[in-house]
Structure 1
Amino acid sequence: MEAPTSHTLSSTNVLALEVPGWLRDNGEAIIAGAASILAIILGALLVRALAKRAIARVVARILQPPKGEEDGTPRRNGRGPAVLQRDAGRARERREQRARTIGAVLSSIVTVVIGIMALAMVLGEVGIALGPLLASAGVVGLAIGFGAQSLVADYLSGLLIMVEDQYGVGDTVDLGEAIGEVEHVGLRLTQVRDLTGGLWHIRNGEIRRVKNDSQDWARAVLDVGVAYDSNLDTVYEVLERTGRELHEDPEQGALLLEEPSVWGVQSLDADSVVVRMAVKTRPLKQWGVTREMRRRVKDNLDAAGVEIPFPQRTVWMRHEDARAAVPKGRDAAAVTR
């Protein structure tokens, strides 16, 4: 019974004697490997800190309001006389949401990329083969990609929407079936409140086209139908005078970016000659300007004696008594001629 115990003790003693020698022979390699791993970790943390600082600068630049927005004065850009007019509170909320989302996404991407690179370098220092790990990770990533490709498309589309600033909170947009005011823009979903109060939840990956009525400028277009016997020179004069009056009005003129202009005859309809006039307005103000312009045009055309025609029809009534009074042998259709 004592022989196995003696053998175990002797083996332990041999290992105890060999460990110092192994440490003495491999100590430099262990210290060098530990120093390399420590340097990799410190380098990864330093790169991550620098990247975070750069991201913070980007976010701060996004949060900075454009010149003239805080005091309500219009700002002009390089695309012409158009200006971006928004409520200051909503504009600030839009910038903050956009900046937070972009900052969070960039920080996550930077952290993941730096972490993966640092882990791969550490495993290489330890001596673990990366080939099988990369192959396994590739298979798993491929399976996840096939299963969640729609989710990935939603997130990528949401990120592009925010980076390109296609629309934001408070904008009036047309996304296809969903038309209304944007209440929330996320990486996966966009929420739109329509005219009747319904809240639409649209996946960003399903948005194929966007019409934004809130950016830069809008145009109020009014088609006026006049009678065929009207003098078009008189009609042009009345419309131009109406445009000047609208532009000189303090309340309405503040909504216009230029003086209304008469474009000319738009079409020759069955009942009228259609003359078009138009004017550039601040975003989302084109509908109110069009209603006011239509009212003034109606009053001025009436004052000038210009007829605004409406469809008219002549109806012939056929009575059964007249048909019964037709003598036999005569064509009954003669009564209805």
Structure 2
Amino acid sequence: MNLVIYYLIQLWSLLVNHGLPLAALLIVAILIPRIGRLAVRVISQRFDSAEEATKGRLALLGALVYVLEAIAFFVVVMLALANLGVPATSAAIPATVVSAAIGFGAQNVIKDFVAGFFIISERQFGVGDYVSFDGPSSAVEGTVVALTLRATRIRTPAGETVMVPNGSAGVVTNYSQEWSRAVVDIEIPLQPGESMDHLTEKVRAAAHRAVQDPQVAGDITGDLDVLPAMKLVQPLAAGQPWAITFRTTVTVVPARQWAAERAIRSAIVNTFWDRFNVSDLSSAVSSVLDGSTPPSPIADKTSRLPQADPDAPTELYPAASPHTPGDLDTDPDTGA
């Protein structure tokens, strides 16, 4: 009976001295990432999303929380070892060997951490920027939704979430840092007797109407520039007019250049809609669809050829007799 009481006392002692502290440390380890995400959410709500500096602050906040989580996990592990009676000096040598093995096998992870440090310190891009990464097969582009020291999480225009390791980001194109520029290149056919100044004024008037639209007027931050005669396009067929390439540029707020480009392009196309022979193309397509297309000369000649009677019997022709060497003409002098 005394032996049973002794073992129960020892079990209670182990539970109180080791079980409860280790369980508390395990709960703390589970709560560490959740507390980090909550801190990021609360602090990010205090930032003004309209400011350019907010992108860098969010990236720095994510990296800082990531480092604090790593330190907290390290402290939890050391406290667990101390509770189990493992001194720090005794664990130093195994920890060194394990860390060396992990470092040798995790070179890419270390590379990602170093690249992430430079991305954040140099402010190459931040949370909310629209960027493009050179992937192994094709470019990956989208909006940055999270940035840590190890990887960058972006959301593509199709709604897909892509994790890009910072060490393999390659060449990064940032479309929304500080300011952006809308650039529209369009070819306009030149009518007979029309001057370049008159055509340029019509393009400028159409572009001005586009940037004054309420949907894009708030995004315009600079003056509108119309650059005529960027390129002369020679007609591909006789009877077609020459075309002149115009370039229209305007400075807009970050990541709003595509909306301005669509508005300017639509306004210019609506102004010169009658010059693109849309009516001729539409009539040609409609005639093909309703079967009223006139027959081509080749088809007309083919239709006048005599047609074979499908009920007529098959006629066999005699095969030509093969030539023999004696049938060939020879030269009496040379024998050739």
For Structure 1 versus Structure 2, the TM-score category normalised by the shorter chain is 0.5 to 0.7
Q: Is the 8 A contact 1:170 1:183 kept in 2?
A: yes
The residue aligned with 2:80 is none
SS at match of 1:307: helix
Unpaired stretches in structure 1, ≥5 consecutive residues: 1-62, 71-85, 113-127, 328-337
- Residue 294 of structure 1 pairs with residue 265 of structure 2: yes
- The match for 2:132 is 174
What residue is the counterpart of 1:307 in the other structure?
275
Instruction: Look up the equivalent residue of 2:184 and give its one-letter code.
Output: L
Over 3 Å counting, the alpha-carbon distance change for 1:64 and 1:214 in structure 2 is same
Distance of aligned partners of 1:237 and 1:195 in 2 relative to their CA distance in 1, 3 Å threshold: same
Structure 2 unaligned runs (5+)?
Answer: 1-42, 75-88, 236-242, 285-293, 307-336
Give me the whole-angstrom Cα distance separating, in 2, the residues matched to 1:151 and 1:159: 12
The equivalent position to 2:164 in structure 1, one of 198, 202, 209, is 202
Q: Compute the displacement of 1:203 (Å).
A: 1.2
Q: Shift in Å at residue 228 of structure 1?
A: 3.5
What whole-Å deviation, never above 9, does each CA across 1:173-200 have from its counterpart, x for those lacking one? Answer: 1112321111211121211111211111
In 2: Cα distance, 1:321 partner to 1:167 partner? 66
Which residue of structure 2 lines up, in the alignment, with residue 257 of structure 1?
221
The equivalent residue for 1:213 is 175
Are 1:183 and 2:139 an aligned pair? no
User: In structure 2, what is the Cα distance between the partners aligned to 1:216 and 1:299?
Assistant: 32
Deviation sequence 1:138-183 (CA, Å, 0-9, x none): x877654432211110111111111112222221111123211112
Identity %: 26
Cα separation, partners in 2 of 1:307 and 1:325, compared to 1, 3 Å: closer
Among 268, 272, 280, the alignment partner of 2:232 is: 268
Instruction: Please report the TM-score for the alignment, with normalisation by the length of structure 1.
Output: 0.53
Counterparts in 2 of 1:275 and 1:97: CA distance versus 1, 3 Å:
closer
| 1:284 correspondence with 2:242 | no
Q: Pairwise CA RMSD of aligned residues?
A: 4.1
- CA distance in structure 1 between the aligned counterparts of 2:62 and 2:265, rounded to whole angstroms: 44
Q: Is the 8 A contact 2:182 2:251 kept in 1?
A: yes
TM-score of the aligned structures, taking structure 2 as reference length: 0.53
- 1:25 is matched with which residue? none
Q: Which amino acid aligns with 1:286?
A: Q
**Equivalent residue in structure 1 for 2:184, among 215, 222, 227:** 222
Secondary structure at the counterpart of residue 124 of structure 2? coil
Partner of 2:275: helix, strand, or coil? coil
Name the aligned partner's letter for residue 150 of structure 1: N
Q: Which residue of 1 aligns with 2:116?
A: 158
Deviation at 1:238, TM superposition (A): 1.1
Describe the superposition over 1:267-321 as per-residue Cα deviations: whole angstroms up to 9, x where unpaired. 233443221111111111111111111222234446xxx72457979x9935456
Partner of 1:257: helix, strand, or coil?
coil
Partner Cα distance (1:234, 1:98) in 2: 53
